[in-house]
Structure 1
Amino acid sequence: MKKSIFVFACVFLTLFLISGTILAEAQIGEIVESDDMILIDSRSPYSYNGWAIDGKAGGHIPGAVLFSSKWLKNLETNQAIKDELKRFEIAQDKELYVYGDNSEVLVNKLNELGYNSSQIEVDLKEYNDLAKMENFEMLVPPSWLNEKIKADQVFVLEASWGDEAEYLKGHISGSIHINTDAIEEGPIWNRKSDREIIKALGQHGINKEQTVVVYSVADTTPAARLASILKYAGVDDVRILDGNLTAWKAAGYELKTKKVEVEPVEFGAKKAENPEYIIDLKKAKEVYNNQNADFIDVRSPEEFRGETTGYDYIPKAGRIKGAIYGYGGKNAYDMSDYRNPDNTMVSYTFMESRWLDQEIKPENHNNFYCGTGWRASEVWFYALALGWDNVSVYDGGWFEWSENKQPVIKE
């Protein structure tokens, strides 16, 4: 009986595909619920996450897997495409049904590579329950940022470690450069004191009531590090340009080369207003003994196993005893586990599913750590975007923990 129903559903679906009729929710449901089929959304990560762009519906059909047709430009070889498909568990032995922008381009490539894929049409405006990342507005598309800059409704910061050399080669209109040395200091590279942070933010023209958008030239970690400090200090509305300057340029928006001078302002607070967002060693020791709290290691597998420290200035290898591996990248300077091929945040449904598989629980107090704090800040920001509210960055990370005779393990 079940086989007959399945065959009927497939035939019914095929008739819809051949006729070119827009599929109704019931037919889409057959695809999502089947173990032998995969529904693919070929639109941009921005649209998938929830942004309504160019008058089109934001969000995605529940159960759809993100694989943007635009990523084909980022993946230079057929093998790279196959590797990325495998990463998102899009298998060759499944029937693939693709909807969204340029879906025909993606279907043609998939079929060329030996996959069994078909293009389908769906009217997303007819759906009442499109899935969206809970706080998708925290990661903004270039089009939104461009509109807000024109309306003078955002304060834009370019973050990097070091001088303004890259900034002066080309930056987003109106953006201010900030060297991360203004907010953190060695040798552990923890944040500076609240007084120093608030003073530095004010000197860069930042008031806590502003909507602040942060970006980096390419790597997200400098932007995320600054974003975490801004949220910690008390800026409520902090966002990151998803994909950074690379995305801005890919969207065709112009760059400026003249330095933007800024008038210092009062930040609007005397001390950090959200101290729970970033914890230091003293608090980390308390958290360690809390059964409802976890340390989430977002370094490379080699760092987690204790095969390398990842940095020439961190002498000891290993991990915090009891820490859960939360993925990271290939090395200390790579966060590819959290990035799409276009360097935007990896599909949030994929990210959350992997966390749950690792028994990282949203109801617990999750403390993200890396070597010192940059990578952890990126993942922490994504967790907030997902709606995981009880999250912190352990500022000193493995470097501080390992140098202070705390419980560690090395495989």
Structure 2
Amino acid sequence: MNGTINGTTTPSTSAATAPSAATRHDGLIAVEALRALIASGAPPLIVDARFDLADPSAGEKAHAAGHLPGAFYLHLDRDLSGPKQDAFGAFRGRHPLPEREAFAARLRELGMTPGRQVVAYDAADGMYAARVWWMLRWLGHDAVAVLDGGLTAWRQAGGELSTDTPIAAPAAESPAFQPGSPLEEPMSAQDLFARLGQVRLIDARAGERFRGDVEPLDAQAGHIPGAVNRFFKTNLRADGRFKAPAELRDEFLALLSPLPAGQTVHQCGSGVTACHNLLAMHHAGLPGSRLYAGSWSEWSANPRLPLAKG
């Protein structure tokens, strides 16, 4: 469905083609660059990932009230997560990953095609949009970026909002979009337990939850033994945009030392805000770290696994 942004018509999803190497964005994208892509012959697939853990319907309602023109909504619980129990009934965490093919099928419903640029945004400092970014890379798709500054940056730059419901036309391109070789790898609780002390484990939760002072969401308070705390908002400047790559690189290298980036595992409460730290390391030129998707919600629910406080 066509829309307008400051008078510029945005082509329908069926007209999308893969971006050239010069226009591919694989980490963060500024508002100005997004506008240029929308006005080009290869408009991106825009994903609104707004969500509120305290009110799971809030993000969808906010999307209906106004979103970036042409944006589709992906719900954290329905679209970006899978069943909370495995085949044996074991708890997998509050937001476990879905099957790769299930997520790919959902993207195809939105008009996703091979190589198409994806841009995700939210209104929560990138914490939910970063989950979309990580999951696309998990599918092997590198043309995916988070709108730096999110909805706030878009509005501050004069960007309009739309209440139109975009319609995804069936993709005419062949072959259809399919999962490829993963660019990001998740880690299981079993693998992490076996590697405690051998990896740098970074917890993206707020300090009071990491220390175990409070725990509003999960089974027990505390953190995984050996983890260090880097609250995901530490990655941002005061205006809500990501810090410069060099600054982030210095901060993460100090945190990782003496281990390399490739021996880093990220976690949080349920595998969402941890993706923000993964994105920050990617932006800083420090690839190779992994996500423990079950995170504290899965770990703390298993009485056989150790925990720490303080």
Q: 2:143 aligns with which of 223, 227, 237?
A: 237
Separation in 1 of the partners of 2:36 and 2:169?
23
Residue-by-residue CA offset, 1:81-122 (whole Å, 9 max, x unaligned): xxxxxxxxxxxxxxxxxxxxxxxxxxxxxxxxxxxxxxxxxx
Residue-by-residue CA offset, 1:368-388 (whole Å, 9 max, x unaligned): 110111110111111112111
* Residue 371 of structure 1 pairs with residue 261 of structure 2: no
Gaps of at least 5 residues in structure 2 are 1-23, 52-56, 85-92
Separation in 1 of the partners of 2:39 and 2:251?
39
Gaps of at least 5 residues in structure 1 are 1-134, 329-334
User: After the TM superposition, which of the residue ranges 257-266 and 228-237 deviates more from structure 2?
Assistant: 257-266
- The one-letter code of the counterpart of 1:407 is P
Separation in 2 of the partners of 1:145 and 1:282?
40
User: Which position in structure 1 is the counterpart of 2:19?
Assistant: none
Q: Is the 8 A contact 2:205 2:268 kept in 1?
A: yes
- The one-letter code of the counterpart of 1:341 is A
Q: Is the 8 A contact 2:248 2:284 kept in 1?
A: no
Separation in 2 of the partners of 1:208 and 1:379?
27
Q: 1:392 aligns with which of 290, 295, 301?
A: 290
Q: 1:147 aligns with which of 36, 43, 53?
A: 36
User: Which position in structure 2 is the counterpart of 1:92?
Assistant: none
Q: 1:279 aligns with which of 177, 181, 187?
A: 187
Separation in 2 of the partners of 1:410 and 1:164?
36
Q: Is the 8 A contact 1:160 1:216 kept in 2?
A: yes
RMSD over aligned Cα atoms = 2.4
* Residue 298 of structure 1 pairs with residue 298 of structure 2: no
Residue-by-residue CA offset, 1:58-103 (whole Å, 9 max, x unaligned): xxxxxxxxxxxxxxxxxxxxxxxxxxxxxxxxxxxxxxxxxxxxxx
SS in 2 for 1:206: coil
TM-score (norm 2): 0.77
Question: Which structure has the greater CA radius of gyration?
Answer: 1
TM-score (norm 1): 0.59
Q: Where has structure 1 moved over 6 Å in runs of 4 or more?
A: none
Separation in 1 of the partners of 2:124 and 2:29?
15
Q: Is the 8 A contact 1:183 1:196 kept in 2?
A: no
Residue-by-residue CA offset, 1:31-56 (whole Å, 9 max, x unaligned): xxxxxxxxxxxxxxxxxxxxxxxxxx
User: Which position in structure 2 is the counterpart of 1:69?
Assistant: none
Separation in 2 of the partners of 1:188 and 1:138?
26
User: Which position in structure 2 is the counterpart of 1:30?
Assistant: none
* Equivalenced residues, count: 265
Residue-by-residue CA offset, 1:212-237 (whole Å, 9 max, x unaligned): 11111343111111111111012121
Separation in 2 of the partners of 1:140 and 1:402?
36
* Residue 288 of structure 1 pairs with residue 178 of structure 2: no
Q: Is the 8 A contact 2:126 2:276 kept in 1?
A: yes
**Aligned-residue offset at 1:286:** 4.1
Q: 1:268 aligns with which of 151, 155, 177?
A: 177
Q: Is the 8 A contact 1:201 1:267 kept in 2?
A: no
* Residue 177 of structure 1 pairs with residue 73 of structure 2: yes
SS in 1 for 2:273: helix
SS in 2 for 1:239: strand
Q: 2:94 aligns with which of 178, 183, 188?
A: 188
User: Which position in structure 2 is the counterpart of 1:108?
Assistant: none
Residue-by-residue CA offset, 1:360-405 (whole Å, 9 max, x unaligned): 4444421111011111011111111211111111101111122222
Separation in 2 of the partners of 1:401 and 1:261?
40
User: Which position in structure 2 is the counterpart of 1:199?
Assistant: 105
SS in 2 for 1:156: strand
In the superposition, relative to structure 1, how do residues 320 and 199 fare at CA in structure 2: closer, same or farther (>3 Å)? Answer: same
User: Which position in structure 1 is the counterpart of 2:49?
Assistant: 159
Separation in 2 of the partners of 1:363 and 1:275?
15
Separation in 2 of the partners of 1:302 and 1:319?
11
Q: Is the 8 A contact 1:141 1:241 kept in 2?
A: yes
Larger RCO (CA within 8 A; separation ≥ 6): 2
**Aligned-residue offset at 1:136:** 8.4
User: After the TM superposition, which of the residue ranges 191-200 and 179-188 deviates more from structure 2?
Assistant: 179-188
User: Which position in structure 2 is the counterpart of 1:352?
Assistant: 249
Q: Give the structure with the higher percent helix.
A: 1
- The one-letter code of the counterpart of 2:81 is E
**Aligned-residue offset at 1:171:** 1.8
* Residue 212 of structure 1 pairs with residue 93 of structure 2: no
